[in-house]
Chain A
């Protein structure tokens, strides 16, 4: 059952349109429902070869030797592809947007860093022949200690997963082992809060579970180009990744896709295209590389695990006055997209609520598991689970209805967000009101009258004086965030922040009414003193080095 509530925000819309807003049938519907839509694997090629990879049985091991001689003589085998055959055997996906260092080989060199890591590929006349040949490859492994827990991985003495990042953490801004968010002074606010609640949340990996597994077919064209049929979610992303790994001009590759049998984020990593293209280049024949279901589930890059520690300070009247979060994104053995997800998570803190003091650290951590990637809600889903369970606990603690608790703390047009941009186009309050009404969940009149359009801004738009710190600097030992909270004063104050942290106004401890009278919502308790309100937002700290634009965005310049 679905209804449109056109009365909301009707002044902001023109509903008299011809096509937009109409329930037109999809242009591709007939093909889908009759089973005639063509996917990448529906393209037949004469002389098609099949590619399969040998995967590591160990989560972490040195490769002493690899003997492929028997595999090369195996019936039906056309080519064995080793790491040395890959023209540029090191990449990081986000190098296409200049984010991070190359840290992942297409085929393992010297060591394997997760169970299932590809080591050698075989191209053969049939899938069965390829599998037979894989069994004849002899690899001498020297197993190494492995680490699987994000907080274990960042402890001193933990096994080094990925030598590109020897501390097992992605490097942000060439300076910190995490991305920081600092807004106001949470420690002071905690001291003045009526209740403080600190909890730990955990999200396991999950599998995208698409109907169609990852795969591609690459075939030489007569004009010295390669045509590639693929189920990628990002055509030029995969084309660019393949061109880099194979060191070919991008216009020698002709990618065709566009219709995908389920993606959900699991078809961004370009898992198969580079090898099928390389196979086609080395054999001169069409090559098909499609993951089996087991490969897709275990080695086809899941949604990564996340761990969030959330500490909140809340007043008896239900206002949240401080929120401090420490987040760990489990990247697995290689960066892929996790470094980006950790920053997206920071941008989302503290959720859709206006909280005057916010502090967050987000880590992208390397462990000996299948590299994680994006999935529906990337960077947000695990945090939202954590935040909203925490919100339920807080409502319970202060004895408020959870709907009313959300409405009270919801962000509104004109409020300042923790990443220092003004909120606009808000609609959280209205969603809560409508869901409550539909579910016959009683919400009192004063909360039903509140609105995202009013009551925001003013004192809620103030950027508070902010306490910054230098915790987690790269090269100064293991991160402070691992087991103890980061020190508030810079451990090595070079250079000091260009402004003096200012004390935050004391919390109004005078007993507020049991329920605040709306609208407007009560101002944040730690709004800056009047003199401060007139000031423009504080200047950003001086740059630490002559970083390029890209490196200042994401941290580490690509090398």
Chain B
């Protein structure tokens, strides 16, 4: 009886946004008289940070500091239509809608600034700190706040913008499946290191090492929270969770978190992550979205690592100790395969 080290990997890609498109998002952006901006959405923040991602996209597009932008969501009386927060569509779809709305608002702001400075709007640029100045002549400047006051009270302009983003719905061919499912994909590869106890069938995660490519990382800290949390969820799916442990038998349904088995804090392992950014040609600043896909590579990587550790293939999720133990017994004991690379 022993604990066996194992190592496995998997690589995946993931479609961004609703399959086949046809899932519009809208956004409104407006300035108050002090040059502070509100983004109005009906999109939902599930905790993943949709508000903050769209806030940074709006601030970047407007050319103002992040502190001058707040995102308001979601009220069906004020926020324009959005399909919903699912299918990894927040950053890509809502982000693009916000970018379009912010561009329109920026256009009005620059026209208003041009009128105040008596120059051509095309010659103006924002400094990202709340000022607008003539390109190459920073001293010929006006604060965004003063532009907003002038637009509102002198010029009679509304510094506001509307945005929508839509990938038109694709048809699907009945005979061949020909279709345009999505416009971009995120990518990942993950290595799982673990131990399998051949006496109990229990699997202990030791480490995860990964590379995720997710387009432009709009906020690197929030990318980290998504990847760390998502990979943990994948690990939980791989080894613990199901309301139907003997599927397709519906018996043994859990009623609470005592009966629905999930890993606890002590089961979490270190996760060493590399992020690659290949911008999506049609993403906001190249953003794709790390939301759903970060969990996916963990499941097969864990299954493959268990094979590497003890030589059994578990092709049914979740990979419970019972399944591992039964498979080891059926095989007549653990058969470690040797850690990858070690064979050469």
Contacts and interface: CB of A to CB of B under 8 A. Distances in A.
B190 A384 contact: no
A38 interface: no
Nearest to B10: A388
A503 B45 CA distance: 52
A420 B233 CA distance: 33
A253 B173 contact: no
Interface in B4-31: 7-15, 19-20, 22
A406 B189 contact: yes
Contact of B241 (A209, A232, A410): A209
Contacts of B115: none
B76 A419 contact: no
Given A5-B276, A22-B219, A260 B47 contact: yes
A261 to B, nearest CB: 7
B191 A435 contact: yes
Nearest to B57: A20
B139 interface: no
A4 B211 CA distance: 10
B44 A344 contact: no
B313 A389 contact: yes
Given A20-B57, A204-B242, A540-B178, A253 B189 contact: no
A204 B317 contact: yes
B178 A23 contact: no
A393 B313 contact: yes
B297 interface: yes
B44 A257 contact: yes
Interface stretch (A154-162, A312-320, A425-433, A520-528): A425-433
Interface in B161-182: 169-182
B187 interface: yes
Interface stretch (B143-151, B299-307, B325-333): B299-307
A343 interface: yes
A434 B274 contact: yes
B249 interface: yes
A205 B247 contact: yes
A9 B280 CA distance: 11
A65 B341 CA distance: 68
Interface stretch (B106-114, B196-204, B285-293): B285-293
Interface size bracket, B side:
35 or more
A59 B315 contact: no
Contact of A233 (B46, B170, B222, B292): B46
B256 A294 contact: yes
A257 B74 contact: yes
Contacts of B10: 384, 388, 391-392
A420 B316 contact: no
B84 A268 contact: yes
A373 to B, nearest CB: 10
Given A20-B56, A346-B177, A305 B244 contact: yes
A291 B299 CA distance: 29
Contact of A435 (B175, B210, B244): B210
Given A3-B273, A392-B304, A431-B187, A24 B19 contact: no
B277 interface: yes
Contact of A13 (B63, B70, B277, B292): B277
A3 B274 contact: yes
Nearest to B52: A26
Q: How would you classify the secondary structure of chain B's contact residues: helix, strand, loop or mixed?
A: loop
Given A9-B279, A305-B244, A388 B177 contact: no
Contact of A19 (B128, B211, B221, B341): B128
Contacts of A182: 175-177
A175 B8 CA distance: 42
A18 B341 contact: no
Contact of B14 (A4, A59, A377): A377
A466 B177 CA distance: 12
A444 to B, nearest CB: 9
10 contacts: A6-B277, A28-B51, A28-B52, A148-B249, A204-B242, A204-B318, A236-B76, A268-B86, A388-B301, A428-B13
Interface of B: 7-15, 19-20, 22, 42-47, 49, 51-52, 55-57, 59-60, 63, 65-66, 70-71, 73-77, 79, 81-87, 128, 169-182, 184-185, 187-191, 193, 209-213, 216-224, 227-228, 230, 233, 237, 241-245, 247-250, 253-257, 260, 262, 270-281, 285-287, 291-293, 295-297, 299-301, 303-304, 307, 313, 315-318, 340-341, 344
Interface of A: 1-6, 8-9, 12-13, 17-24, 26-28, 32, 59, 97, 115, 148-150, 152, 172-173, 175-176, 179-183, 199-207, 209, 232-237, 239, 253-265, 268, 293-294, 297-298, 302, 305, 330, 340, 343-344, 346-348, 351-352, 360, 367, 369, 374, 376-382, 384-389, 391-393, 401-403, 406, 410-411, 418-421, 424-428, 430-436, 438-442, 466, 468, 497, 540-541, 544, 549, 552-554
4 smallest CB-CB distances across A and B, nearest first, come from: A234-B84, A388-B300, A181-B177, A258-B74
Given A20-B56, A376-B230, 15 more contacts: A28-B52, A115-B250, A235-B79, A255-B75, A258-B45, A259-B45, A305-B244, A347-B20, A388-B301, A389-B315, A392-B304, A425-B278, A425-B280, A549-B171, A553-B171
